[in-house]
Chains A and B, each alone.
Chain A
Amino acid sequence: MDARPITSRTSPVSPQTGRLSVGQGRRRHTANAGYVLVLPYIAHFLTFVAFPLVFSFVLIFHRWDILSPMQWIGLGNVHRLLHDRLFFRALANTGVFLLIHIPLQIVIALALAVFLNQKLRLRGFFRAIFFLPVVVSGVVTTMLWDSLYAQDTGVLNNVLSSLGLGRVPWLTSPTMAMPSIAIMATWKNVGLYIVLFLVGLQSVPQHLYEAADIEGASPWRKFRHITLPMINPTVVMVVILSTIGGFSLFIEPYIMTGGGPIRSTLSAVLYIYHQAFQFNHMGYAATLGFFFALIVFMVVLLQKRVVEQETGL
C-alpha cells in the first residue's frame, strides 16, 4: 500500500493542520486514499441523485408510459399541470393537513416537554411511553386508528355514543377526514418533538430563571419571556421537520381512505403515485414531482425566513 516509507520519525505531522508534512509522496498517498474512500459515495450520488435529477428534468418535456418510446411534447406537461384542478386540490389538502397538524403538534409537544423538564420522578418512564408511537411503523398506527375511527364499530364512536353524544363521521365525511388524519399524525409524532424540545429546554441557562425568581416572575411570564425566546431555534426546526414530514403524507390516506371521500384526503404524493403507477403517466408524474419538490423547498425556505425575521436571529 505504502509507496514510500515515512522518512522522518521526529515530527511527521503538523499539529495545527493535522496534515502530514513529510514529503510530496506521503501527501499524495493521503489524497489518493481520500479518493478511494469517497468513491462509493460518488458512484451512489451519480446514480441515485445526479442522474434522477437530470432525468426528471428531461421527463418534464416528454410523454412516456415506460413501454413505448418517449415522445417530446415540449411544455405540454407543464400546461397540463397548470390546469390540473386535482393537483391543486391535492396541494390544498396537504395545506389543510399542515395547518392543523403543525400548531397542534407544537402546542402539545412543547407543553409536555416543559412538564417533563421539571424535577419529576418517572421522567424516563414517561418519555419512553410518549416515544412509543414514533418508533412503530406508520402502517401499524394507520391500521390501528382506522379501526378506532370506524363509524359504527370504532372505539371512539362507541365512547361518544355511550356518553350520549352523536357518532362522528371521522373518515367518511369530506370535511372531517383530513383533520382526522392530521390528529392521528400528531398523536404519532408528538413524542419525537417532545424529545427535541427537551434537548432545547436543557440548553437554556439556569441563571436566567434564577434572576427571574428573584424578581418574583410568575411561571407563565418565565415561560413567555425566557423559555420561548431561548428555544426559538428548536421551534423553527420542529416547524421545518414537520412540514417536510407532512408534505410526504402518503401511507395514511393510501390505507385509510384511498384519497377519498370526494378526494378530500388525496395528498400530493398519493396523486403522483396514482399518475405514475396506475395510469403510467411517467412524464407527467415526474413533472408533478418536480414542481411539488420546488413548492416544498420554497415553503421551508419561507418559513425559515419569516421566523428568522420575527426573532431577529
Chain B
Amino acid sequence: MKTSRLRFLRTATKGSLYALLLCWSLVCLYPFVWMLSATVRPEVEIGRLNPIPGKLTLESYRLVFSKIPIARAFANSLFVSFSATAGVLIFTSMIGYALSRLRFRGRDGLFAVVLFTMTLPFQITLIPTYVLMVKFGWNDTYYALIVPYMINAFAIVVFRQYFKSVPQDLLDAARIDGCSDFGILFRIMWPLSVPALITVAILTFMNIWNEVLWPIIVIRKWELMTMPQLVALFAVGGKAEGLLGVRLAAAALLALPIIIAYAFFQRYFIASMATTGLKS
C-alpha cells in the first residue's frame, strides 16, 4: 500500500520534471523553427503561429542574395575568424607555456598584468583603439578586424592552467634531445593539450564570428563587412524594404553555419563555454 503510493509519487514527480524540461525545450526551439519557416513562406503567412508553411517559396532568399553581398560577407567572416583564431592559438599558447614552464625575471608580474587585463571593461579602450586604427590607416581593412583579436587574456589563463599539468619528465627528455622551447611547445605541449586547444579555438572563433560592435565601428565598405555586421545593417537600414521574410532569411543565413557547427561539435561547445566559469 505504502510502497505503491510512493512509487506513484515518484513517477508523478519524474513526469512533471520531463514536462517542465520539454516546455523549456519548446521555448528554446520554437523561435528558430518559426524563423526558418518564415523564410520559406509568403509574406502574408508570417504572423501565424503554426510553423508549417502552406506554400513554399524561396523568394526571400533570392531577394537577400540580390540585395546585399552576403556571400562575400560570409567569406570575410570565415577569413577573419580563422585568422584571428589561428593567431590566438599560436600566440597565447606561447605565453601560456612561458608563464607555466619557464623561469625568467618579471614572469609573475607579467601574469598579474594578464589577470589585470581580464578585469578591464572593453568600454574604456573602445574609443582610443578606434583612434589607433585611424592612425594606422587600418580602417576598412582586414587588419582592424583581426590584429586586435589575436591575443586574449582568457586564452592565456586556460593554456597556462593546462600546461601546468604536463609531466616535467617529458619536457626534460625533449630538452636533453636538444629540442628548443618552440619545439617543446608545438611538438610536445600541443599534442598533449588538444582539449585546451579545442576550448580556446571554439570560444575565440565563436566570439569573433558573432562580434558586431567593433566591425560596425571600423568597417564602412560593404565588401569588407563581416556577416553579422552586414545582416545587422540590413535589418536597421531600408534595404529590406520592410519585408520581414527577407530580413529573417538574412538572419537565418547568419545563424546556419554556427548551428551546423554546433550540431557536430555540440559537446565541445558546451564544455568550452563551461570553462568561462574558470576565472575566479
Which A residues form the contact surface with B (CB < 8 A)? 1-2, 6, 9, 12-13, 15, 17-20, 27, 30-38, 40-42, 44-45, 47-49, 51-53, 55-56, 59, 66, 108, 112, 115-116, 118, 120, 126-148, 150, 152-155, 158-159, 162, 187, 191-192, 195-196, 199-200, 234, 237, 241, 244, 247-248, 250-251, 254-255, 258, 268-269, 272-273, 276-277, 282, 285-286, 289-290, 292-293, 296-297
Contacts and interface: CB of A to CB of B under 8 A. Distances in A.
Given A52-B132, A56-B124, A153-B46, A199 B274 contact: yes
7 contacts: A52-B132, A59-B131, A129-B28, A141-B31, A237-B277, A272-B123, A289-B123
Enumerate the 6 nearest inter-chain pairs by beta-carbon distance, A residue then B residue, closest first.
A34-B104, A52-B128, A293-B124, A52-B125, A33-B181, A37-B98
A137 B210 contact: yes
Interface string B102-127: 11110100100110010111111111
B20 interface: yes
Contact of B127 (A27, A59, A108): A59
Interface residues of B, number: 93
B206 A135 contact: yes
B64 interface: no
A131 B232 contact: no
Given A31-B105, A118-B17, A139-B232, A290 B124 contact: yes
Interface string B149-174: 01100001000000000001001100
A132 B29 contact: yes
B24 A112 contact: yes
Given A158-B49, A269-B123, A297-B119, A187 B27 contact: yes
Contacts of A115: 17, 20-21
Given A30-B102, A138-B210, 4 more contacts: A30-B103, A37-B185, A42-B110, A268-B123
Contact of B121 (A36, A276, A297): A297
B84 interface: no
B188 interface: no
A120 B18 contact: yes
Interface of B: 14, 17-18, 20-21, 24-25, 27-29, 31-32, 34-35, 38, 46-49, 91-92, 94-95, 97-99, 101-105, 107, 110, 113-114, 117, 119-132, 134, 148, 150-151, 156, 168, 171-172, 175-176, 178, 180-181, 185, 206, 209-210, 212-213, 217, 228, 231-232, 235-236, 244, 247-248, 250-252, 254-255, 258-259, 262, 266, 269-270, 273-274, 276-277
Nearest to A247: B121
Contacts of A285: 127
Nearest to A123: B21
Contacts of B91: 40-41, 44
Given A41-B156, A290-B124, A155 B49 contact: yes
B24 A9 contact: no
B213 A144 contact: no
Contacts of A131: 266, 269-270, 273
Given A139-B251, A147-B248, A234 B277 contact: yes
Residue among B17, B31, B34, B168 with the most chain A CB within 10 A?
B31
Contact of B176 (A9, A15, A112, A120): A9
A273 B213 CA distance: 9
B49 A277 contact: no
A154 B127 contact: no
Residue among B32, B38, B123, B244 with the most chain A CB within 10 A?
B123
Nearest to A48: B148
Contacts of B168: 13, 15, 18
A53 B132 CA distance: 12
Contacts of B210: 137-139
A251 B213 contact: yes
B175 A20 contact: yes
Contacts of B48: 155, 158
A115 B20 CA distance: 9
A202 to B, nearest CB: 11
Contact of A144 (B18, B251, B273): B251
A250 B228 CA distance: 14
Nearest to A133: B28
A14 to B, nearest CB: 10
B124 A191 contact: no
A133 B25 CA distance: 11
Contacts of B273: 131, 134, 192, 195
